[in-house]
Amino acid sequence: RFETCWPALMKDSHGVIIIFNPELPSHLKEIETWYSCFVQQQPLLDSQCLLVAHHKPGSAEDTENLSLGYPLNKLKLIHSNLEEDPEDVRMEFMKYFRSIINLINESREREEMSIIS
C-alpha cells in the first residue's frame, strides 16, 4: 500500500536489510518482492543486502530447516532472537554496516581517482 513511497526510500541507498518472520509463509513470499524491488532494481550487490529471520520470544526457532529459493539463498542470512542472543545479532549488524561503509569508501575513492585522471 506504500509502493508509491518506495522510490524515495531507495534513492541513494547503499544497503538493504530485510527482516521477516520465518514462521509466516506469506513473509517468505513477500521477501522475494522486497528483494526484487529494493536490491535487484537498484541495482545493489547481493553483499549489500542482509536477511534477518526474526524469531519471536517463545517461538520454536528452527534455523536448520529454513530454505530460501534462488536468488534469496545467495544472501547473507542471520537468525535473531533478542531474548537469547542479542549480542550475536548486534555483532552481525556491525559486520554488515562495516561492509557497507567499505563499499562506500571504495566507490568514493574510485570516483575521486576518475576525476583526477
- pLDDT of 61 higher than 80: no
Q: Which three cell numbers stand for residue 109?
A: 575513492
Binned at pLDDT 50, 70 and 90, residue 86 comes out as confident
Closest C-alpha to 46, from 21, 70, 81, 19: 70
Task: Say what the pLDDT of residue 64 is.
Answer: 61
Amino acid identity, position 48: Q
Predicted confidence (pLDDT) at residue 57 exceeds the cutoff of 80: no
Q: Evaluate whether 58 touches 93 at the Cβ level (below 8 Å).
A: no
pTM of the predicted protein model: 0.83
Q: How confident is the model at residue 23 (pLDDT cuts 50, 70, 90)?
A: confident
Query: What radius of gyration, in Å, describes the C-alpha atoms of the chain?
Result: 16
Give pLDDT, residue 69: 86
Residue 88 has phi, psi (to 5 degrees) of: -60, -40
pLDDT tens column, 32-51: 999 999 999 888 999 999 99
Q: How far is CA 86 from CA 20, 27, 36, 69, 95, in A?
A: 17, 22, 29, 27, 14
Query: What is the C-alpha separation between 55 and 21, in angstroms, rounded?
Result: 6
Cα 26 to chain centroid, rounded: 18
pLDDT value at position 28?
84
